Every structure is written in C-alpha cells, then in structure tokens.
C-alpha cells in the first residue's frame, strides 16, 4: 500500500514531519562493536585484520594474498566486453572533465596596508578508498571516488575491498585499472577503515578515507574522523521527484524505484499536483517491482519508505523539498528553472523530463557521492576539495607592521595575553 499524503489534509503537517524525521539507518547499535574493532586493529595490526577476514569474509589472507596483483586488474579489463569497457571509459572521461573544473586557484596579493596575503592549495599525501563487496559491487563508485583524488594530485591511493570467499568482482578490478589504482587490499569492513587510518605493518596509513559502505563502515569513519579526514557519514539512498501530470508515469515510477532498489531503508518520494498522475505512478510502481531482479529489496523499501504527496501546485512542494534536503532531486517539468531557483537544500538536482537521476550515477560527470539523511542542509557532494587543503600565508614589511601592528597589540592586551602583545610591540620600536 503506497503511502499517500495530501497538503490539504488536516493531519498533513504531522504526517509530513514524521516522514522528515523518520530514522532509516540500520537498526543495529553498531557503535560499541565498531569501537572494539578499531581498538583491536590499532593494537593487533595485521594479525587482527587476518582474524576478522577469516571470521567475516571466510578466507585466509595468507592463502589468497593480501594485495591484488596489478596483473589481475589488467586481465579483468582485457576480459571486459567492449561495450562495457567503452561505458567505463566514457564515465571516467566525463567524471575527470567535470572535476578538473573544481581545482581551486592559489591567491597572492598585497593589500592597501602593504601586507602580502595569499593562500596555496595542495593535495593530501595519501587517500584511502573503500569499495563495497557485499550486497553489490559498484565500479561507478570506484571511479567517482578515485578520479577527484587523482585530479587533486594525491600521490598515493590505497583501495580496500572485502572479498567474500576470496572472490572480487571483475568489473571493480577493470574500473581500478582504468582509474590507475595500483594498491588494492583484500580487506573490508570497519577493520579495513581502521587499517587505513592507523596503519599496520603492511598497510601504510592515509590522510583521507572516502567511499560507501555498510553501517559498520560508516560508523568506523565517523569514529575515526580527526585521526583522518572523511568524505561524509552516508546513510540510505534518497530520491525526491517533483513532477506534473504531463510526465509518463512509467518513467516516474522507474525513477523512484532506481533508489528503492538500493536498500530496504532507501527512500523515494513523489510530489505532484495531479491526482490522476499520482494514481498512475502508484500503479506503475506496483507493476514494475515484480519485474526487477532487485524486486525483494525494492518492494520492501517502497512499502516502508516510499510516498506520494499531492500538492495544490508545484510551487507548494518546494519548501517541503527543502525540509527533506534530499540526496537526489528531480524537477520533471518543461521549465524547471523557476522551481530550481527555489531549491536551497539538495545534494544534486536533475533538471527536466529527460534527466533521470540514474544518468548522474554513471556518466553525467558530477559526483554521485552525495549527502543523505538531510545532511544536504550543511554539506556537499564529494569533490576535488575533499582531497586538498589550503595553507594561508602572509608577509609584512616594516611599514606594513607599523600600519596594522598597534591594533594587534591593543587586542592582545585586551585579551590578557602579554606575550602576544610583546611579540608585535617589540617590532614596532
């Protein structure tokens, strides 16, 4: 039964608030378990990694090998069907082109007081990439995480991925070859994140860790933030579609299910001002689910977290969309610009009827690693900047310190910091 809400209903405010506040993260309280894993890896290093791999991934690292041989990546790419290889290479090229435009510029100048001021950008030395190997393997996510790091100029990229039974998805290896990754470790879970953060005898530590994972991986990244940088703490996937009645309901249903099929906790919401279209989309969703190979997950997700919201006009939907701050937002209308102008909180926006969210997952160019769980209110998708940091610099002449130094002395004295004041005042004499 599709969840239906109508803004004219007396109980709409309470029902929509419940939808906004719904907790869709995994039910397990994983914090304590993750803390124990991090502690064990920090203390036990490689031995702890090998133990967790035997327990969780059911294979012996000493037998399968700790690292993937680069020759295996080359072989996987060579064995990839031509059309699929072309698709991966097209995606890589477009992602690279888009992210190259994100590189920040250094600044250097002299202000009116004669003070030289500027900033210099530089890449982190090493980045760690987590690639899932459980429910599904996503070569597209590998490209989305590696390419911004490469564009930023990161010298070393270490990839970790769980390999249940010792097996690894050949498409992931093919994407790794295209992306130019040479360091791949057969470890996963919170223990792999710990190894990247703390380092072991085999795995050198990194500065930033990015990439999607399950609840344990997300919690490990959250607990290790500060030891390393992270991209974000990601939750279940989301899509909001704002559509009028001139859309094909089959298209809209497919767009909604494109996120429902990710995970039972994913969320898909349609806003429309056409009741007949709402009915048609609901019926189309029910028709399409059984045909999906992912039907069990999609059905569970749609039943638990899907919703269709009828509004008086589409402009009424936009403040509601902002409250949801969705990961993905489709504006499926002839002229999306007026609605787009009202959007303040969304990870990525897809404009017009011919722009399905799924094209952004693969070949459009912008990054598909996006904030979830209403975090688009204060954060952005993965970018080149996540792998860079800014160092400011300044240089004062005798005249320049004479111009601004007395004010610094006054402020230091007012804050009760005499050594601060003296370090400036001595240069003024």
Catalytic residues: 327-328
Sign of the Cα torsion 412, 418, 424, 429 reads positive
Query: For residues 87 and 83, what is the distance between their CA atoms, to the nearest angstrom?
Result: 6
What's the per-residue H, E or C state across the chain? CCEEEECCCCCHHHHHHHHHHCCCCCCCCCHHHHHHHHHHHHHHCHHHHHHHHHHHHCCCHHHHCCECCHHHHHHHHHHCCHHHHHHHHHHHHHHHHHHHCCCCCCEEEECCCCCEEEEEEEECCEEEEECCCCCCCCHHHHHHHHHHHHHHCCCEEEEECCCHHHCCCHHHHHHHHHHCCCEEECCCHHHHHHHHHHCCCCCCCCCEEECCCCHHHHHHHHHHECCEEECCCCCCCEEEEEECCCCCHHHHHHHHHHHHCCCCCCEEEEEECCHHHHHHHHHHHHHHHHHCCCHHHHHHHHHHHCEEEECCCHHHHHHHHHHHCCCEEEEECCCCHHHHCCCCCCCEEEECCCCCHHHHHHCCCCCCCCCCCCHHHCCCCCCHHHHEEEEEEEECCHHHHHHHHHHHHHHHHHCCCHHHHHHHHHHHC
**CA atoms of 151 and 4, how far apart (whole Å):** 45
Sheet holding 229-230, edge to edge: 183-185, 156-160, 126-130, 208-210, 229-230
CB burial of 47-58 (b: ≥16 within 10 Å; e: otherwise) equals ebbbebbeebbe
Distance of alpha carbon 418 from its chain centroid, rounded?
A: 46
């Amino acid at each position: 039964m599709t969840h239906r809400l109508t803004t004219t209903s007396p109980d709409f405010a309470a029902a929509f608030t419940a939808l906004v506040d719904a907790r869709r993260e995994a039910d397990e309280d994983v914090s304590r378990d993750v803390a124990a894993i991090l502690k064990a890896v920090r203390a036990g290093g490689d031995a702890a990694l090998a133990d967790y791999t035997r327990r969780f991934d059911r294979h012996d690292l000493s037998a399968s090998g700790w690292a993937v041989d680069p020759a295996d990546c080359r072989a996987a790419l060579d064995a990839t069907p031509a059309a699929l290889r072309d698709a991966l290479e097209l995606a890589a090229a477009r992602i690279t082109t888009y992210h190259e435009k994100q590189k920040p510029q250094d600044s250097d100048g002299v202000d009116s007081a004669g003070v030289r001021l500027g900033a210099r950008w530089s890449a982190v030395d090493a980045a760690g990439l987590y690639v899932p190997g459980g429910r599904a393997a996503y070569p597209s996510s590998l490209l989305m995480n590696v390419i911004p790091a490469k564009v930023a100029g990161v010298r070393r990229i270490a990839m970790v991925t769980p390999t249940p039974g010792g097996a690894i998805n050949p498409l992931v290896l093919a994407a790794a070859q295209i992306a130019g990754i040479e360091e791949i470790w057969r470890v996963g879970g919170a223990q792999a994140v710990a190894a990247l953060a703390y380092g072991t005898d085999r795995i050198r530590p990194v500065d930033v860790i990015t990439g999607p994972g399950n609840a344990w991986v997300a919690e490990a990244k959250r607990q290790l933030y500060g030891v390393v940088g992270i991209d974000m703490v990601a939750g279940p996937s989301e899509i909001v579609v704002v559509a009028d009645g001139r859309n094909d309901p089959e298209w809209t249903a497919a767009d909604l299910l494109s996120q429902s099929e990710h995970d039972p906790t994913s969320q898909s919401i349609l806003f429309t001002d056409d009741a007949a279209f709402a009915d048609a989309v609901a019926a189309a969703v029910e028709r399409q689910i059984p045909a999906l190979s992912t039907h069990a997950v999609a059905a569970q997700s749609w039943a638990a977290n899907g919703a269709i919201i009828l509004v008086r006009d589409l402009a009424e939907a936009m403040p509601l969309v902002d409250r949801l701050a969705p990961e993905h937002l489709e504006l499926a209308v002839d002229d999306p610009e007026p609605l787009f102008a009202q959007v303040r909180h969304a990870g990525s926006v897809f404009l017009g009827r011919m722009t399905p969210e799924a094209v952004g997952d693969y070949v459009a160019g912008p990054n598909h690693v996006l904030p979830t769980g209403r975090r688009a209110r204060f954060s952005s998708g993965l970018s080149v900047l996540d792998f860079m940091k800014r160092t400011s610099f300044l240089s004062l002449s005798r005249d320049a310190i004479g111009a601004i130094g007395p004010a610094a002395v006054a402020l230091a004295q007012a804050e009760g910091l005499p050594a601060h004041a003296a370090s400036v005042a001595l240069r003024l004499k």
